[in-house]
Amino acid sequence: MGALLAIPLVVQPSLAASTSYVANCDARLRTTTSTTATIVDVVSSGGTVTASGTVSGGSWSADCPSTVSGSSWLAITAVNGTSTSTLYGRSTVYAAAGLFSVVTAPPPPPPSNYLEGVDVSTWQGSIDYAQVRASGRAFVIAKATEGIGYTDPRWATNRANAPAAGLALGAYHFARPDGNSTLAGARGEADWFVSQMSLTGGMLVPALDLEVHGTLSVSALTAWVQAWLGEVYAKTGARAMIYTSPSFWKTYLGDTAWFAQNGYPVLWIAHWTTNSSPTVPASNWGGRSWTFWQYTSSGTVPGIGGSVDLDRYNGLDLTRVTFGADFNVGLGGGGVASVEQGATVSVPVSINRSWFTLPVALTVSGLPSTLSPTLAAASTTDGSTSISFAPSTSTPAGTYPFTVTGTSNGLTRTATGSITVTDAMPPTVKAALSGLVGGRLGSTVPVATSWFASDPSGIASYGAQMETNGGAWATIGLPSPLTTSISQGLRVGSTYAYAIRATDGAGNTSGWAIGPVIKPVLDQQTAVGTTYSSGWTTAYSTSVSGGSMRYATWAGAWVSYKFTARSIGWVAYRGPTRGKAGVYVDGVLRATVNLYSSTYVAQPIVFVANWATSGTHTLKIVVKGTAGHPRVDVDAFVRLVSA
């Protein structure tokens, strides 16, 4: 490493009782106060200069734009924000005073746009920061160090008093690459700055003040700045802002956008102008524009004697330029909560802020939509909000992890929790439905009754009861807890009703679901509603229902029966001489029934049809005329009707 050069304090006229002027026309800058002196530069119309005062000299006259004359000269110490020492190697150059007008600071913009502030050094002397704050200023950027070994005499006082008055405070370092030109020198200046500024959370990010370049080339000065910034970041974790003028950056750093594109988005631009916005180098600082703007060096502020630099912040919230500004997301109760199905629970969300006042956007992820997570505020500047969870009754019981994510200013913070949904809802029970089934007609009619229940926790057991002829409900003994159907013989002419309830896996028991009242009805083969084609014969027997039945043997003979019921059954006769018949319900073939049997069977129910509700239908039986045993018998009809 090369030797580091310690640079003593350099008094800059632009920082002490100086005034800014704007050129009314193209104005020549000379080495002395004489029109015959050497011209060092020409300031274009509209350009700005800083003068420490006026001095008397040789006479001059000019058209600017009207004719002006005199013998007063401006003692100029900076041009367009860059010192004359840097530009011309002279602490002061001169120009005819009548070619310039005093720059007045532009009025503060509407409060909705910017924050106002100042930057100060020892040249401002003792400052009453309470008055500065009362004047509407929001921040102060104070000089801390210069080169290696120099600390601004008022830095410690400014550092203590500005925050105490409610002003945001930042520190800047005046770079001296002219004295510490090596990369080791850059790092040495950075280390000195870090050692003196005592950066703590809540301060503005530190600043590098670039006004001199020494003899460094564009590439060498760029590397010097990179080394300084990198060292500050390594020692503090802060990405410092850069202070420069448009002309200095374009001339001595090649108008590079490298810094804007590589982690240094905060530009503090020095451009003293009456325009409403500054000129921003490096392609509008990589498209990010300016963050701070020093728009005049000759402002006046209550609490500060003499003139002072006035600055503007591009926004209303300093969070993005505050060191240590951060937030975390937390959940009340550790994020663990329990809620029953169909109920609602709220979980507090805390946003723990450290010098962070920007809105934080919140989202909840990881949950099924049936849990209906709802944030009380999707974006908030507060320190707390809440999430409500309202699981639907169909949400399965269980534990559901979730994540709350907060995002703001490029930061993402998360908190995790879990919601346990408990089953508090009884099962949903479908009322029992009864229907005729095949079998034999006797003193009772064979009927099957079935039911069903559902629950997210599953069904653990069923209970069943039956009411007969409007009497008391009687418990039906089920073969197993999960039985969902039974078959019984019900007496013709009696009424019946069934009640079902279910218990789920969480122990919740439903109420009784009562089905319709039903009644078995027996109609003989000649009941009202029957119509026979020709070819049918009546047969009598004590083994058949009602003592008689009708039969046909030739193909195409038919009988139709129009009825009202929720179930219908055809009672026939089986035997060796019996054959096949087609069975139609409401005009649609439903079955082909074969009555053949090697033995005779009386009163079999050979066909049934069932519906969910009662209605009017037509049953038609058509003889097929089976070869060798064509006979088909109609003994009776059985119906289940709604009582």
pLDDT for residue 11 = 31
Q: Is residue 190 situated within a structural domain?
A: yes
Q: Return mean pLDDT, the chain.
A: 93
pLDDT for residue 5 = 31
- Three-state DSSP state, 188: helix
Per the residue annotation, which of 119, 146, 189, 504 is the catalytic one? 119
Last residue of a domain, one of 491, 516, 541: 516
pLDDT for residue 1 = 30
Q: Is residue 110 situated within a structural domain?
A: no
Q: Is residue 335 situated within a structural domain?
A: no
Residue 19: phi and psi, rounded to 5, are -130, 140
Assess whether 477 and 500 both reside in one domain. yes
Assess whether 470 and 537 both reside in one domain. no
Give the Cα separation of 12 and 174 in Å (integer).
11
pLDDT band at 105 (very low <50, low <70, confident <90, very high): low
User: Considering the chain, what percentage of its residues have pLDDT values greater than 70?
Assistant: 96
Domain range for 29 is 13-102
Assess whether 592 and 506 both reside in one domain. no
pLDDT band at 355 (very low <50, low <70, confident <90, very high): very high
pLDDT for residue 86 = 86
Q: For 207-250, how does the pLDDT look when each residue is reduced to its tens digit (9 = 90+)? A: 999 999 999 999 999 999 999 999 999 999 999 999 999 999 99
Candidates 464, 451, 453, 465; CA nearest to 504 is 453
Q: Which of 19-23, 196-200, 481-485 has the lowest mean pLDDT?
A: 19-23
Using the predicted structure, report yes or no on whether residue 196 has a pLDDT greater than 90.
Answer: yes
CB 455 within 8 A of CB 502: yes
Give the Cα separation of 310 and 299 in Å (integer).
6
Q: Which of 21-30, 295-304, 395-404, 482-491 has the lowest mean pLDDT?
A: 21-30
Mean pLDDT within 370-399: 93
pLDDT for residue 103 = 76
Q: Is residue 3 situated within a structural domain?
A: no
- Render the burial of 375-387: b for 16+ CB within 10 Å, e for the rest: bebeebeeeebeb
- Three-state DSSP state, 487: strand
Assess whether 214 and 176 both reside in one domain. yes
Q: Is residue 2 situated within a structural domain?
A: no
Assess whether 346 and 239 both reside in one domain. no
Q: Which of 39-53, 127-141, 241-255 has the lowest mean pLDDT?
A: 39-53
CB 161 within 8 A of CB 140: no
Assess whether 202 and 309 both reside in one domain. yes
CB 404 within 8 A of CB 330: no
Q: Is residue 263 situated within a structural domain?
A: yes
What CATH number has the domain bearing residue 18? 2.30.30
- Three-state DSSP state, 599: coil
Assess whether 588 and 475 both reside in one domain. no
Give the Cα separation of 272 and 295 in Å (integer).
5
Assess whether 505 and 542 both reside in one domain. no
Using the predicted structure, report yes or no on whether residue 275 has a pLDDT greater than 90.
Answer: no
pLDDT for residue 20 = 85
Among 23-37, 110-124, 579-593, the range of highest mean pLDDT: 579-593
pLDDT for residue 362 = 97
Other C-beta atoms closer than 10 Å to the C-beta of 356 total 21
- Residue 402, strand partner residues: 417
Mean pLDDT within 585-590: 98
Per the residue annotation, which of 116, 146, 209, 635 is the catalytic one? 209
Last residue of a domain, one of 389, 422, 455: 422
Residues 6+ apart with CB under 8 A from 181: 214, 215, 216, 220, 224
Residue 116: active-site member: no
Compute the radius of gyration of the chain from its Cα atoms. Answer: 50
The total domain count for the chain is 5
Residue 311: active-site member: no
Assess whether 417 and 448 both reside in one domain. no
Tokens describing residue 70: 């005199």
Q: Which of 110-119, 191-200, 330-339 has the lowest mean pLDDT?
A: 110-119
pLDDT for residue 48 = 83
What CATH number has the domain bearing residue 408? 2.60.40.10
Give the Cα separation of 533 and 481 in Å (integer).
51
Assess whether 17 and 41 both reside in one domain. yes
CB 156 within 8 A of CB 150: no
The one-letter code for the residue type at 447 is V
**Pairing assessment for the beta strands 207-209 and 241-244 based on DSSP bridges:** parallel
Last residue of a domain, one of 102, 137, 152: 102
Q: For 501-544, how does the pLDDT look when each residue is reduced to its tens digit (9 = 90+)? A: 999 998 999 999 999 999 999 999 999 999 999 999 999 999 99
Per the residue annotation, which of 116, 211, 311, 635 is the catalytic one? 211
The more confident residue out of 25 and 436 is 436
Mean pLDDT within 158-179: 97
pLDDT band at 561 (very low <50, low <70, confident <90, very high): very high
CB 377 within 8 A of CB 385: yes
Q: What is the pTM of this model?
A: 0.62
Mean pLDDT within 385-405: 93
CB 539 within 8 A of CB 526: no
Give the Cα separation of 442 and 370 in Å (integer).
53
Q: Is residue 6 situated within a structural domain?
A: no
CB 510 within 8 A of CB 463: no
Look at the block and give the residue holding tokens 């001595």. 252
pLDDT band at 13 (very low <50, low <70, confident <90, very high): very low
What CATH number has the domain bearing residue 542? 2.60.120.260
pLDDT for residue 374 = 95
Assess whether 317 and 174 both reside in one domain. yes
Determine which helix (DSSP H) or strand (DSSP E) holds 588, and give its type and residue range. Answer: strand 588-594
159, 362, 397, 508 from 391: Cα distances, Å: 54, 20, 10, 17
Residue 211: active-site member: yes
Tokens describing residue 294: 């020093």
Full 3-state SS string of 74-97: EEEEEECCEEHHHHHCCCCEEEEH
Assess whether 254 and 233 both reside in one domain. yes
Candidates 219, 15, 42, 213; CA nearest to 118 is 15
Using the predicted structure, report yes or no on whether residue 8 has a pLDDT greater than 50.
Answer: no
Q: Is residue 327 situated within a structural domain?
A: no
Using the predicted structure, report yes or no on whether residue 109 has a pLDDT greater than 80.
Answer: no
Candidates 384, 485, 440, 451; CA nearest to 638 is 440
